Structure 1
Protein backbone atom coordinates (compact mmCIF):
# COMPACT_ATOMS: atom_id res chain seq x y z
CA UNK A 1 0.00 0.00 0.00
CA UNK A 2 1.39 3.39 -1.01
CA UNK A 3 0.89 6.29 1.38
CA UNK A 4 0.72 9.64 -0.34
CA UNK A 5 -0.83 13.06 0.25
CA UNK A 6 -3.44 14.12 -2.33
CA UNK A 7 -1.17 16.84 -3.71
CA UNK A 8 1.66 14.34 -4.35
CA UNK A 9 -0.20 11.60 -6.23
CA UNK A 10 1.15 12.73 -9.60
CA UNK A 11 4.69 12.30 -8.29
CA UNK A 12 4.21 8.53 -8.03
CA UNK A 13 5.26 6.23 -10.89
CA UNK A 14 2.52 5.43 -13.40
CA UNK A 15 2.80 1.72 -12.69
CA UNK A 16 3.20 0.33 -9.18
CA UNK A 17 3.30 -3.38 -8.27
CA UNK A 18 0.93 -3.20 -5.31
CA UNK A 19 -1.53 -0.69 -6.76
CA UNK A 20 -3.21 0.07 -3.46
CA UNK A 21 -3.22 3.67 -2.29
CA UNK A 22 -3.77 5.38 1.03
CA UNK A 23 -4.34 9.12 0.91
CA UNK A 24 -2.78 10.91 3.89
CA UNK A 25 -5.03 13.69 5.19
CA UNK A 26 -2.99 15.78 7.61
CA UNK A 27 -4.52 19.22 7.04
CA UNK A 28 -7.83 20.69 5.81
CA UNK A 29 -6.12 21.83 2.60
CA UNK A 30 -5.55 18.19 1.66
CA UNK A 31 -9.29 17.80 1.14
CA UNK A 32 -9.18 20.44 -1.60
CA UNK A 33 -6.89 18.23 -3.68
CA UNK A 34 -8.98 15.07 -3.37
CA UNK A 35 -10.86 15.34 -6.65
CA UNK A 36 -7.71 15.72 -8.74
CA UNK A 37 -5.92 13.03 -6.71
CA UNK A 38 -8.74 10.52 -7.20
CA UNK A 39 -8.80 11.14 -10.94
CA UNK A 40 -5.05 10.51 -11.08
CA UNK A 41 -5.35 7.33 -8.99
CA UNK A 42 -8.23 6.04 -11.13
CA UNK A 43 -5.95 6.11 -14.20
CA UNK A 44 -3.59 3.72 -12.41
CA UNK A 45 -6.30 1.05 -12.03
CA UNK A 46 -5.79 0.64 -8.25
CA UNK A 47 -6.67 -2.52 -6.35
CA UNK A 48 -8.29 -0.41 -3.63
CA UNK A 49 -8.12 2.94 -1.89
CA UNK A 50 -7.95 4.05 1.75
CA UNK A 51 -7.62 7.25 3.77
CA UNK A 52 -5.19 7.82 6.64
CA UNK A 53 -6.25 10.51 9.09
CA UNK A 54 -5.58 10.33 12.83
CA UNK A 55 -8.47 12.60 13.80
CA UNK A 56 -11.66 10.45 13.69
CA UNK A 57 -13.92 13.41 12.87
CA UNK A 58 -11.73 14.55 9.99
CA UNK A 59 -11.36 10.96 8.81
CA UNK A 60 -15.13 10.53 8.71
CA UNK A 61 -15.53 13.71 6.68
CA UNK A 62 -12.71 12.67 4.36
CA UNK A 63 -14.22 9.24 3.73
CA UNK A 64 -17.62 10.76 3.03
CA UNK A 65 -16.08 13.16 0.55
CA UNK A 66 -14.04 10.42 -1.14
CA UNK A 67 -17.12 8.19 -1.40
CA UNK A 68 -19.13 11.06 -2.88
CA UNK A 69 -16.43 11.87 -5.43
CA UNK A 70 -16.03 8.21 -6.43
CA UNK A 71 -19.78 7.85 -6.87
CA UNK A 72 -20.12 11.04 -8.91
CA UNK A 73 -17.29 9.87 -11.17
CA UNK A 74 -18.90 6.46 -11.60
CA UNK A 75 -15.78 4.85 -10.17
CA UNK A 76 -15.79 1.30 -8.81
CA UNK A 77 -12.54 1.59 -6.86
CA UNK A 78 -13.03 -0.36 -3.58
CA UNK A 79 -12.85 1.97 -0.60
CA UNK A 80 -11.24 0.37 2.46
CA UNK A 81 -11.74 1.83 5.95
CA UNK A 82 -8.22 2.04 7.34
CA UNK A 83 -7.15 2.62 10.93
CA UNK A 84 -3.83 2.51 12.73
CA UNK A 85 -2.79 3.20 16.33
CA UNK A 86 -2.17 6.84 17.10
CA UNK A 87 -0.48 8.61 19.97
CA UNK A 88 -2.68 10.17 22.61
CA UNK A 89 -1.41 12.95 24.86
CA UNK A 90 -3.68 11.82 27.68
CA UNK A 91 -1.73 8.57 27.89
CA UNK A 92 1.62 10.27 28.34
CA UNK A 93 1.22 10.24 32.10
CA UNK A 94 1.14 6.46 32.27
CA UNK A 95 4.02 5.28 34.43
CA UNK A 96 4.50 1.90 32.82
CA UNK A 97 5.38 2.01 29.12
CA UNK A 98 3.81 -1.38 28.45
CA UNK A 99 0.59 -0.32 30.17
CA UNK A 100 0.56 2.84 28.07
CA UNK A 101 0.91 0.83 24.87
CA UNK A 102 -1.85 -1.58 25.90
CA UNK A 103 -4.19 1.29 26.77
CA UNK A 104 -3.50 2.94 23.43
CA UNK A 105 -4.11 -0.29 21.51
CA UNK A 106 -7.49 -0.74 23.20
CA UNK A 107 -8.41 2.92 22.70
CA UNK A 108 -7.43 2.66 19.04
CA UNK A 109 -9.67 -0.37 18.52
CA UNK A 110 -12.59 1.39 20.19
CA UNK A 111 -12.08 4.50 18.05
CA UNK A 112 -11.94 2.34 14.94
CA UNK A 113 -15.15 0.59 15.94
CA UNK A 114 -17.01 3.88 16.37
CA UNK A 115 -15.55 5.54 13.29
CA UNK A 116 -15.78 2.61 10.87
CA UNK A 117 -19.11 1.37 12.22
CA UNK A 118 -20.75 4.72 11.55
CA UNK A 119 -19.41 4.82 8.00
CA UNK A 120 -20.49 1.25 7.28
CA UNK A 121 -24.02 2.05 8.46
CA UNK A 122 -24.03 4.91 5.95
CA UNK A 123 -23.11 2.45 3.22
CA UNK A 124 -19.54 3.74 2.95
CA UNK A 125 -16.71 1.21 2.81
CA UNK A 126 -16.00 -2.05 1.00
CA UNK A 127 -13.62 -3.44 3.61
CA UNK A 128 -11.82 -2.80 6.89
CA UNK A 129 -8.06 -2.70 7.47
CA UNK A 130 -6.82 -2.28 11.05
CA UNK A 131 -3.15 -2.07 12.02
CA UNK A 132 -2.62 -3.39 15.53
CA UNK A 133 -0.06 -5.39 17.48
CA UNK A 134 -3.01 -7.47 18.71
CA UNK A 135 -4.04 -9.09 15.44
CA UNK A 136 -6.61 -11.34 17.09
CA UNK A 137 -8.49 -8.45 18.73
CA UNK A 138 -8.35 -6.39 15.54
CA UNK A 139 -9.71 -9.26 13.44
CA UNK A 140 -12.44 -9.96 15.98
CA UNK A 141 -13.44 -6.29 16.04
CA UNK A 142 -13.59 -6.13 12.24
CA UNK A 143 -15.79 -9.22 12.09
CA UNK A 144 -18.04 -7.85 14.83
CA UNK A 145 -18.43 -4.62 12.85
CA UNK A 146 -19.41 -6.52 9.71
CA UNK A 147 -21.88 -8.61 11.72
CA UNK A 148 -23.39 -5.65 13.60
CA UNK A 149 -23.83 -3.56 10.47
CA UNK A 150 -25.16 -6.66 8.66
CA UNK A 151 -22.74 -6.33 5.80
CA UNK A 152 -21.64 -9.90 6.37
CA UNK A 153 -23.28 -12.32 8.80
CA UNK A 154 -20.71 -14.88 9.86
CA UNK A 155 -22.53 -16.17 12.94
CA UNK A 156 -26.03 -16.42 14.39
CA UNK A 157 -27.65 -13.08 15.19
CA UNK A 158 -29.89 -12.74 18.22
CA UNK A 159 -32.53 -10.11 18.90
CA UNK A 160 -33.90 -9.83 22.42
CA UNK A 161 -36.24 -7.50 24.26
CA UNK A 162 -34.92 -5.52 27.26
CA UNK A 163 -37.26 -7.42 29.63
CA UNK A 164 -40.07 -5.90 31.68
CA UNK A 165 -42.88 -6.90 34.03
CA UNK A 166 -44.65 -8.77 31.23
CA UNK A 167 -41.74 -11.13 30.60
CA UNK A 168 -42.92 -14.71 31.07
CA UNK A 169 -39.55 -16.43 31.53
CA UNK A 170 -35.98 -15.71 32.58
CA UNK A 171 -34.85 -13.85 29.49
CA UNK A 172 -31.10 -14.04 30.07
CA UNK A 173 -31.11 -17.71 30.98
CA UNK A 174 -33.37 -18.64 28.06
CA UNK A 175 -31.37 -16.62 25.55
CA UNK A 176 -28.12 -18.18 26.77
CA UNK A 177 -29.63 -21.65 26.46
CA UNK A 178 -30.89 -21.04 22.93
CA UNK A 179 -27.51 -19.57 21.95
CA UNK A 180 -25.77 -22.71 23.19
CA UNK A 181 -27.92 -24.80 20.83
CA UNK A 182 -28.08 -22.53 17.78
CA UNK A 183 -24.92 -20.41 17.93
CA UNK A 184 -23.33 -22.30 15.02
CA UNK A 185 -26.01 -21.30 12.50
CA UNK A 186 -24.22 -18.80 10.28
CA UNK A 187 -26.44 -15.93 9.15
CA UNK A 188 -29.63 -17.09 10.92
CA UNK A 189 -31.45 -14.39 12.91
CA UNK A 190 -33.34 -15.56 16.01
CA UNK A 191 -35.49 -13.36 18.25
CA UNK A 192 -36.09 -14.24 21.90
CA UNK A 193 -38.95 -12.17 23.31
CA UNK A 194 -40.49 -12.29 26.76
CA UNK A 195 -44.15 -11.73 25.84
CA UNK A 196 -46.59 -11.50 22.94
CA UNK A 197 -47.59 -7.91 23.79
CA UNK A 198 -44.49 -6.17 22.46
CA UNK A 199 -42.37 -9.11 21.33
CA UNK A 200 -43.63 -9.58 17.75
CA UNK A 201 -43.22 -5.89 17.00
CA UNK A 202 -39.67 -5.84 18.35
CA UNK A 203 -38.45 -8.87 16.41
CA UNK A 204 -37.41 -6.68 13.47
CA UNK A 205 -36.49 -8.95 10.56
CA UNK A 206 -35.71 -12.09 12.55
CA UNK A 207 -35.96 -15.38 10.68
CA UNK A 208 -37.41 -17.14 13.71
CA UNK A 209 -39.02 -15.98 16.93
CA UNK A 210 -39.25 -17.57 20.38
CA UNK A 211 -41.93 -15.64 22.30
CA UNK A 212 -43.54 -16.16 25.70
CA UNK A 213 -47.32 -16.55 25.25
CA UNK A 214 -48.37 -17.56 28.79
CA UNK A 215 -46.66 -18.85 31.94
CA UNK A 216 -44.76 -21.94 30.85
CA UNK A 217 -45.90 -21.56 27.22
CA UNK A 218 -44.06 -20.43 24.08
CA UNK A 219 -45.18 -19.30 20.63
CA UNK A 220 -42.80 -19.85 17.71
CA UNK A 221 -42.65 -17.52 14.73
CA UNK A 222 -41.38 -17.79 11.20
CA UNK A 223 -40.69 -14.18 10.37
CA UNK A 224 -43.65 -12.27 11.81
CA UNK A 225 -46.11 -15.16 11.46
CA UNK A 226 -47.03 -17.40 14.39
CA UNK A 227 -46.57 -20.99 13.25
CA UNK A 228 -46.72 -22.91 16.55
CA UNK A 229 -48.70 -21.83 19.60
CA UNK A 230 -48.61 -22.52 23.32
CA UNK A 231 -45.76 -25.03 23.27
CA UNK A 232 -44.69 -26.20 26.74
CA UNK A 233 -41.43 -24.47 27.68
CA UNK A 234 -39.74 -27.83 28.20
CA UNK A 235 -40.34 -28.70 24.53
CA UNK A 236 -39.87 -25.26 22.97
CA UNK A 237 -36.11 -25.44 22.34
CA UNK A 238 -36.40 -28.65 20.33
CA UNK A 239 -39.48 -27.34 18.54
CA UNK A 240 -37.47 -24.27 17.52
CA UNK A 241 -34.69 -26.47 16.17
CA UNK A 242 -37.23 -28.56 14.25
CA UNK A 243 -38.75 -25.38 12.79
CA UNK A 244 -35.36 -24.13 11.65
CA UNK A 245 -34.67 -27.54 10.11
CA UNK A 246 -38.02 -27.53 8.28
CA UNK A 247 -37.06 -24.30 6.55
CA UNK A 248 -33.68 -25.64 5.44
CA UNK A 249 -31.62 -23.37 7.69
CA UNK A 250 -30.37 -25.92 10.21
CA UNK A 251 -26.83 -27.25 10.18
CA UNK A 252 -25.49 -29.89 12.52
CA UNK A 253 -22.83 -28.50 14.88
Structure 2
Protein backbone atom coordinates (compact mmCIF):
# COMPACT_ATOMS: atom_id res chain seq x y z
CA UNK A 1 0.00 0.00 0.00
CA UNK A 2 2.77 2.42 0.99
CA UNK A 3 5.05 1.83 -2.00
CA UNK A 4 2.15 1.84 -4.45
CA UNK A 5 1.04 5.19 -3.06
CA UNK A 6 4.58 6.56 -3.52
CA UNK A 7 4.44 5.53 -7.19
CA UNK A 8 1.05 7.21 -7.60
CA UNK A 9 2.31 10.44 -6.03
CA UNK A 10 5.33 10.47 -8.35
CA UNK A 11 2.98 10.01 -11.29
CA UNK A 12 0.94 13.00 -10.15
CA UNK A 13 4.07 15.12 -9.92
CA UNK A 14 4.80 14.40 -13.59
CA UNK A 15 1.12 14.79 -14.53
CA UNK A 16 1.01 18.18 -12.84
CA UNK A 17 3.96 19.38 -14.90
CA UNK A 18 2.24 18.21 -18.10
CA UNK A 19 -1.08 19.91 -17.20
CA UNK A 20 0.70 23.14 -16.27
CA UNK A 21 2.64 23.09 -19.54
CA UNK A 22 -0.57 22.47 -21.51
CA UNK A 23 -2.26 25.47 -19.90
CA UNK A 24 0.74 27.71 -20.62
CA UNK A 25 0.77 26.48 -24.23
CA UNK A 26 -2.90 27.40 -24.70
CA UNK A 27 -2.25 30.96 -23.51
CA UNK A 28 1.09 31.42 -25.29
CA UNK A 29 0.46 29.68 -28.62
CA UNK A 30 0.12 32.06 -31.57
CA UNK A 31 -0.17 29.82 -34.59
CA UNK A 32 -2.89 27.21 -34.17
CA UNK A 33 -6.64 26.77 -33.92
CA UNK A 34 -6.35 26.85 -30.12
CA UNK A 35 -5.15 30.45 -30.44
CA UNK A 36 -8.32 31.36 -32.33
CA UNK A 37 -10.50 29.61 -29.77
CA UNK A 38 -8.95 31.14 -26.66
CA UNK A 39 -8.84 34.65 -28.17
CA UNK A 40 -12.46 34.65 -29.29
CA UNK A 41 -13.88 33.10 -26.12
CA UNK A 42 -13.06 34.41 -22.64
CA UNK A 43 -14.31 31.17 -21.08
CA UNK A 44 -11.57 29.24 -22.87
CA UNK A 45 -9.00 31.62 -21.37
CA UNK A 46 -10.47 30.86 -17.96
CA UNK A 47 -10.19 27.15 -18.74
CA UNK A 48 -6.50 27.59 -19.63
CA UNK A 49 -5.87 29.42 -16.34
CA UNK A 50 -7.66 26.58 -14.54
CA UNK A 51 -5.30 24.09 -16.20
CA UNK A 52 -2.28 26.11 -15.02
CA UNK A 53 -3.65 26.27 -11.47
CA UNK A 54 -4.55 22.59 -11.46
CA UNK A 55 -1.11 21.66 -12.79
CA UNK A 56 0.72 23.67 -10.13
CA UNK A 57 -1.46 22.28 -7.34
CA UNK A 58 -1.08 18.73 -8.69
CA UNK A 59 2.71 19.02 -8.63
CA UNK A 60 2.62 20.32 -5.07
CA UNK A 61 0.11 17.64 -4.13
CA UNK A 62 2.36 14.90 -5.54
CA UNK A 63 5.27 16.17 -3.45
CA UNK A 64 3.03 16.41 -0.38
CA UNK A 65 1.68 12.89 -0.81
CA UNK A 66 5.13 11.43 -1.42
CA UNK A 67 6.49 12.92 1.82
CA UNK A 68 3.37 11.79 3.69
CA UNK A 69 3.70 8.24 2.37
CA UNK A 70 7.43 7.95 3.09
CA UNK A 71 7.25 9.46 6.58
CA UNK A 72 3.76 8.01 7.24
CA UNK A 73 2.38 11.34 8.44
CA UNK A 74 -1.40 11.16 8.80
CA UNK A 75 -1.87 14.92 8.48
CA UNK A 76 -0.08 15.02 5.11
CA UNK A 77 -1.98 11.96 3.91
CA UNK A 78 -5.25 13.65 4.84
CA UNK A 79 -4.24 16.80 2.96
CA UNK A 80 -3.25 14.66 -0.03
CA UNK A 81 -6.70 13.04 -0.06
CA UNK A 82 -8.42 16.45 0.18
CA UNK A 83 -6.30 17.87 -2.65
CA UNK A 84 -7.04 14.86 -4.86
CA UNK A 85 -10.77 15.27 -4.31
CA UNK A 86 -10.56 19.00 -5.05
CA UNK A 87 -8.51 18.44 -8.22
CA UNK A 88 -10.98 15.84 -9.47
CA UNK A 89 -13.90 18.25 -9.00
CA UNK A 90 -12.03 21.14 -10.70
CA UNK A 91 -11.03 18.97 -13.67
CA UNK A 92 -14.63 17.89 -14.23
CA UNK A 93 -15.80 21.52 -13.97
CA UNK A 94 -13.13 22.69 -16.46
CA UNK A 95 -14.11 19.97 -18.93
CA UNK A 96 -17.80 20.88 -18.69
CA UNK A 97 -16.98 24.59 -19.10
CA UNK A 98 -14.90 23.92 -22.22
CA UNK A 99 -17.55 21.63 -23.74
CA UNK A 100 -20.49 23.99 -23.31
CA UNK A 101 -18.56 27.04 -24.57
CA UNK A 102 -17.23 25.49 -27.76
CA UNK A 103 -20.42 26.56 -29.55
CA UNK A 104 -19.92 30.19 -28.53
CA UNK A 105 -16.70 30.66 -30.48
CA UNK A 106 -17.20 33.72 -32.70
CA UNK A 107 -15.38 32.54 -35.84
CA UNK A 108 -18.04 34.02 -38.21
CA UNK A 109 -17.49 37.43 -36.57
CA UNK A 110 -13.76 37.07 -37.09
CA UNK A 111 -14.33 36.40 -40.79
CA UNK A 112 -16.76 39.30 -41.12
CA UNK A 113 -14.34 41.77 -39.51
CA UNK A 114 -11.23 40.48 -41.30
CA UNK A 115 -9.18 43.36 -42.78
CA UNK A 116 -6.78 43.16 -45.71
CA UNK A 117 -3.17 44.23 -45.05
CA UNK A 118 -3.91 44.47 -41.33
CA UNK A 119 -1.41 43.04 -38.84
CA UNK A 120 -3.46 41.18 -36.26
CA UNK A 121 -2.50 38.12 -34.23
CA UNK A 122 -5.97 36.59 -34.42
CA UNK A 123 -6.19 37.06 -38.19
CA UNK A 124 -2.76 35.48 -38.62
CA UNK A 125 -3.85 32.49 -36.52
CA UNK A 126 -6.99 32.04 -38.63
CA UNK A 127 -4.95 32.27 -41.86
CA UNK A 128 -2.67 29.57 -40.46
CA UNK A 129 -5.65 27.32 -39.66
CA UNK A 130 -7.22 27.65 -43.11
CA UNK A 131 -3.93 27.00 -44.91
CA UNK A 132 -2.83 24.04 -42.78
CA UNK A 133 -6.22 22.37 -42.35
CA UNK A 134 -7.04 23.06 -46.03
CA UNK A 135 -10.44 24.58 -45.43
CA UNK A 136 -12.17 27.90 -46.02
CA UNK A 137 -14.61 29.73 -43.77
CA UNK A 138 -16.31 28.15 -40.78
CA UNK A 139 -19.39 26.37 -42.18
CA UNK A 140 -18.28 26.83 -45.81
CA UNK A 141 -16.34 29.26 -47.97
CA UNK A 142 -19.58 31.28 -48.33
CA UNK A 143 -18.94 32.64 -44.81
CA UNK A 144 -16.50 35.02 -46.48
CA UNK A 145 -19.37 36.69 -48.37
CA UNK A 146 -20.22 38.39 -45.05
CA UNK A 147 -16.97 40.36 -45.31
CA UNK A 148 -17.93 43.75 -46.78
CA UNK A 149 -14.37 44.73 -47.73
CA UNK A 150 -13.93 41.52 -49.72
CA UNK A 151 -17.28 41.61 -51.49
CA UNK A 152 -16.89 45.28 -52.52
CA UNK A 153 -13.96 44.37 -54.75
CA UNK A 154 -14.74 44.65 -58.48
CA UNK A 155 -12.33 41.89 -59.51
CA UNK A 156 -12.42 38.27 -58.37
CA UNK A 157 -10.80 38.53 -54.94
CA UNK A 158 -10.55 35.77 -52.34
CA UNK A 159 -8.84 35.07 -48.97
CA UNK A 160 -5.24 34.13 -49.78
CA UNK A 161 -5.03 31.50 -47.04
CA UNK A 162 -8.05 29.72 -48.55
CA UNK A 163 -6.39 29.09 -51.90
CA UNK A 164 -6.80 25.49 -53.03
CA UNK A 165 -3.28 24.14 -53.26
CA UNK A 166 -4.21 20.46 -53.45
CA UNK A 167 -2.54 20.26 -56.86
CA UNK A 168 0.63 22.01 -55.67
CA UNK A 169 3.83 19.95 -55.51
CA UNK A 170 5.27 21.79 -52.52
CA UNK A 171 3.34 21.54 -49.24
CA UNK A 172 5.86 23.56 -47.23
CA UNK A 173 4.64 26.94 -48.43
CA UNK A 174 4.44 30.03 -46.29
CA UNK A 175 0.96 31.01 -45.14
CA UNK A 176 -0.32 33.83 -47.33
CA UNK A 177 -2.28 36.61 -45.67
CA UNK A 178 -4.93 39.10 -46.71
CA UNK A 179 -6.85 39.05 -50.00
CA UNK A 180 -5.60 37.91 -53.41
CA UNK A 181 -6.90 38.61 -56.91
CA UNK A 182 -7.62 35.90 -59.47
CA UNK A 183 -7.61 36.63 -63.19
CA UNK A 184 -9.94 34.58 -65.37
CA UNK A 185 -9.97 35.42 -69.09
CA UNK A 186 -13.15 33.38 -69.63
CA UNK A 187 -15.17 35.42 -67.16
CA UNK A 188 -17.54 37.98 -68.70
CA UNK A 189 -19.55 39.49 -65.82
CA UNK A 190 -18.13 41.97 -63.31
CA UNK A 191 -18.17 41.79 -59.53
CA UNK A 192 -16.64 39.48 -56.98
CA UNK A 193 -18.58 36.23 -57.23
CA UNK A 194 -17.48 33.48 -54.80
CA UNK A 195 -18.19 30.85 -57.46
CA UNK A 196 -14.99 31.92 -59.21
CA UNK A 197 -12.79 31.77 -56.11
CA UNK A 198 -9.97 29.18 -56.43
CA UNK A 199 -10.42 28.15 -52.79
CA UNK A 200 -11.23 25.09 -50.71
CA UNK A 201 -14.98 24.50 -50.63
CA UNK A 202 -15.19 22.73 -47.27
CA UNK A 203 -15.55 24.75 -44.06
CA UNK A 204 -13.14 24.38 -41.16
CA UNK A 205 -15.91 23.34 -38.75
CA UNK A 206 -16.30 19.97 -40.49
CA UNK A 207 -12.56 19.38 -40.36
CA UNK A 208 -12.44 20.19 -36.65
CA UNK A 209 -15.42 17.92 -35.94
CA UNK A 210 -13.80 15.14 -37.97
CA UNK A 211 -10.59 15.49 -35.94
CA UNK A 212 -12.55 15.32 -32.68
CA UNK A 213 -14.43 12.22 -33.85
CA UNK A 214 -11.19 10.51 -34.86
CA UNK A 215 -9.51 11.27 -31.54
CA UNK A 216 -12.46 11.12 -29.14
CA UNK A 217 -11.45 7.63 -28.01
CA UNK A 218 -7.94 8.79 -27.09
CA UNK A 219 -9.24 11.91 -25.34
CA UNK A 220 -11.80 9.96 -23.31
CA UNK A 221 -9.28 7.23 -22.55
CA UNK A 222 -6.76 9.71 -21.14
CA UNK A 223 -9.44 11.48 -19.07
CA UNK A 224 -10.82 8.22 -17.67
CA UNK A 225 -7.31 6.91 -16.98
CA UNK A 226 -6.34 10.01 -15.01
CA UNK A 227 -9.61 9.89 -13.05
CA UNK A 228 -9.06 6.21 -12.17
CA UNK A 229 -5.52 6.93 -10.94
CA UNK A 230 -6.83 9.84 -8.87
CA UNK A 231 -9.43 7.59 -7.26
CA UNK A 232 -6.74 4.96 -6.66
CA UNK A 233 -4.58 7.58 -4.95
CA UNK A 234 -7.49 8.58 -2.72
CA UNK A 235 -8.13 4.96 -1.72
CA UNK A 236 -4.45 4.28 -1.04
CA UNK A 237 -4.10 7.42 1.07
CA UNK A 238 -7.09 6.35 3.19
CA UNK A 239 -5.67 2.82 3.47
CA UNK A 240 -2.24 4.04 4.59
CA UNK A 241 -3.78 6.60 6.93
CA UNK A 242 -5.83 3.87 8.66
CA UNK A 243 -2.73 1.65 8.81
CA UNK A 244 -0.71 4.40 10.50
CA UNK A 245 -3.58 4.99 12.94
CA UNK A 246 -3.70 1.26 13.79
CA UNK A 247 0.06 1.17 14.39
CA UNK A 248 -0.09 4.26 16.60
CA UNK A 249 -2.92 2.70 18.61
CA UNK A 250 -1.02 -0.59 19.02
CA UNK A 251 1.98 1.29 20.41
CA UNK A 252 -0.07 2.72 23.27
CA UNK A 253 1.11 0.98 26.51
CA UNK A 254 -1.51 -1.14 28.21
CA UNK A 255 -1.62 -1.38 32.01
Q: TM-score band (shorter)?
A: under 0.3
| Structure with larger RCO (C-alpha < 8 A, sep 6+) | 2
Q: Return the TM-score normalized by structure 1.
A: 0.27
Q: Return the TM-score normalized by structure 2.
A: 0.27
Larger radius of gyration: 2
- In terms of fraction of residues, the more helix-rich structure is 2
- In terms of fraction of residues, the more strand-rich structure is 1
